Structure 1
Amino acid sequence: MATTATAKWYPVYTHAKAEKKACEALQSKGVEVYLPLQKQLKQWSDRKKWTEEPLIKSYLFVRIPPHEQANVLMTKGIARFIYFSGKVAAMPDRQLEDLKLLMASAYELEITERHLQPGEKICIKAGPLKGITGEIIQYRSQKQLALRLDGIGCSIIVNVAASLIARY
């Protein structure tokens, strides 16, 4: 559907608990879409069950040329695009590649909607997350990497051994 030269990644806000259905609807339209899912153990009154839940509630990412935005908005489950400074927010390809790399790693991820205080810029120098840059913060009294996703206003927090971090 999209040529790689003109297509950009855009964060899209979905209706509550409609991420998976909206993702399927977009895929059936031929739109390149990414919905990061993580396994969570859910507790019911009579049982426990592993389910795949969206990493970032009510968000998914589409890679489209700008003229396809109306097509995405007319998809069931899609509420709106995310705007910054009056423009639809586009995300760099590198941020989505970093997010995919984090999702494929064995690290336990935590999403926070708090806007983290900027700290020292770092780069992971070894391991499965090698090459990912971010900011070091103090959180729950452990050193952790905070990968800021500017396009959607949240941060991803990952436990990383201090020996794997280099100053950037």
Structure 2
Amino acid sequence: MALGLNHHTTQWYPVYTHPRAEKKAYEALEKKGIVTYLPLRKTLKQWSDRKKWIEEPFIKSYLFVNIKPTEQAEVLMTKGIARFIYFSGKIASMPDRQIEDLKLVLASAVDIEITEEALQPGERVRIKAGPLKDLEGEVVAYRSEKQLALRFENIGCSIIIHVGASLIQRI
């Protein structure tokens, strides 16, 4: 447990849901009064007879809960929740800043994708202009392009944002 945290302090935790159960698990947690964040993105789906914009989970089988450590059992007893995510043998937690950064990324109109590739740590950078101004991340080479990768280390994935090199600065 980090310095200053106690059993009365809430913290963000990534949780793994059963396949395609993200929205139902989100609703069940909300009904219990648990602060929950399910990152969604709009996607155009093609069926044989039509196209339709739908909202689907940005990170499949993941959602985030803001709870006290004493509420972990209540989360696990929620329909659709499979388990907490572990990192180095402990239940992973995330700083508020990472959740806010994720919300900012999804609210902006930038071209983004998600990868479960283990991206190698690179140079720390900050975006200096545009809708994602002041967002921090790491530069990685991906598909031969320079891109900003926001690394969410405790959830096992990285978010790749296509940003021109002229918009970033070293920190």
Query: What is the TM-score of this pair, normalised by structure 1?
Result: 0.94
2:75 corresponds to = 72
* Structure 1 Cα separation of the partners of residues 111 and 23 of structure 2: 21
* Structure 2 Cα separation of the partners of residues 115 and 14 of structure 1: 21
The worse-fitting range, judged by mean Cα deviation, of 90-99 and 115-124 is 115-124
- Equivalent residue in structure 2 for 1:10, among 8, 13, 37: 13
**2:155 aligns to what SS in structure 1?**
coil
2:3 corresponds to = none
1:111 corresponds to = 114
**RMSD over aligned Cα atoms:** 1.0
* Structure 1 Cα separation of the partners of residues 120 and 91 of structure 2: 25
* Structure 1 Cα separation of the partners of residues 94 and 107 of structure 2: 20
1:160 corresponds to = 163
The amino acid that maps onto 2:53 is W
1:23 corresponds to = 26
The reply to whether residue 43 of structure 1 matches residue 46 of structure 2 is yes
Measured against aligned partners, the alpha-carbon deviations of 1:109-140 in whole angstroms (never above 9, x if no partner) come to: 10000011222111111222111111111222
* Structure 1 Cα separation of the partners of residues 154 and 142 of structure 2: 22
**1:26 aligns to what SS in structure 2?**
helix
* Structure 1 Cα separation of the partners of residues 128 and 69 of structure 2: 35
- Equivalent residue in structure 2 for 1:135, among 133, 138, 153: 138
The amino acid that maps onto 1:161 is G
Moved over 6 A (4+): none
Measured against aligned partners, the alpha-carbon deviations of 1:31-68 in whole angstroms (never above 9, x if no partner) come to: 10000000111111111111111000000000000000
**1:25 aligns to what SS in structure 2?**
helix
* Structure 1 Cα separation of the partners of residues 89 and 154 of structure 2: 13
Measured against aligned partners, the alpha-carbon deviations of 1:51-94 in whole angstroms (never above 9, x if no partner) come to: 11100000000000000001111100000001112211000111
Number of aligned positions between the proteins: 164
> Structure 2 regions of 5+ residues with no counterpart?
1-7
Query: What is the TM-score of this pair, normalised by structure 2?
Result: 0.93
- Equivalent residue in structure 1 for 2:101, among 98, 101, 111: 98
